[in-house]
Amino acid sequence: MNEQGIAIISFGYFEHDFLEKIAESVTREFALPVHIREGHLDLSEFYDATRRQYNGNMILREVEKQYAIDSVKTFGLFYVDLFIPILTYIFGQAFLGGRSAIASIYRLSNERYGLKEVDESLLERFEKEVIHELGHTFGLIHCHVPACVMGSSTYVEDIDQKSSSLCFKCRTQLHDQAIQ
């Protein structure tokens, strides 16, 4: 199978509509076709019993190794709590200028913070996180424009503050890279 575009691979069950909406947003921002697929990884290999979390670096490498074969970019969606050794948690991780990225919905839901769950906000946050990490795979770094989706977010409140679109500067940079 040879897919020219972005492959979004769900590791775990995500509703079809939910994935379709994310795919739509990704297509809108990057002007590339998006293919949704299912993937399978034995996550126990990446589980850190001391931290009771999953090693994001290792999962990202595994996604790259097993799935980033025939698409321009490959994105893995997860349900588990991700970390990297130096940080207590991460929302997502990407190879800057590379081919793969991952994100987890685990820390994006209101429930985690003792608040009432709102489906729209969960979808919006996940959309933004996916676009953000994909932006990194296209070589974009964190942006200081407050509304830009490439703004750095360390809390869900930060994600809520920004839009799901690239700012003019990031879009221009993305366009310039596409031309190159």
Q: Which residues are catalytic?
A: 133
Task: Give me the least distance between CB of 158 and another protein, in Å please.
Answer: 9
Q: Tokens at residue 151, please? A: 């703004």
The single residue among 38, 45, 69, 85 that binds another protein, judged by CB under 8 A, is 85
Looking up tokens 């608040």 gives 115
Q: Which is nearer to another protein, 10 or 93 (CB)?
A: 93
Contact segment (CB under 8 A) with another protein among 5-13, 72-80, 135-143, 159-167 equals 135-143
* Count of residues interacting with another protein (CB under 8 A): 19
Q: Is the separation of the CB atoms in 114 and 141 below 8 Å?
A: no
* Cα separation, 123 vs 146, whole angstroms: 20
Task: Give me the least distance between CB of 15 and another protein, in Å please.
Answer: 28
* Cα separation, 84 vs 56, whole angstroms: 6
Q: Per rule CB under 8 A, is residue 80 in the interface with another protein? A: no
Q: Per rule CB under 8 A, is residue 57 in the interface with another protein? A: yes
- Concatenating the DSSP letter of every residue in 88-115 gives EEESEEE-TTSSEEEEESTTTSGGGGTS
The single residue among 83, 105, 166, 174 that binds another protein, judged by CB under 8 A, is 83
Q: Tokens at residue 6, please? A: 């972005």
SS percent in the chain: helix, strand, coil, step 5: 40, 20, 40
Q: Per rule CB under 8 A, is residue 84 in the interface with another protein? A: yes
**Interface residues with another protein (CB under 8 A)?**
57, 83-90, 93-96, 136, 141-142, 152, 154-155
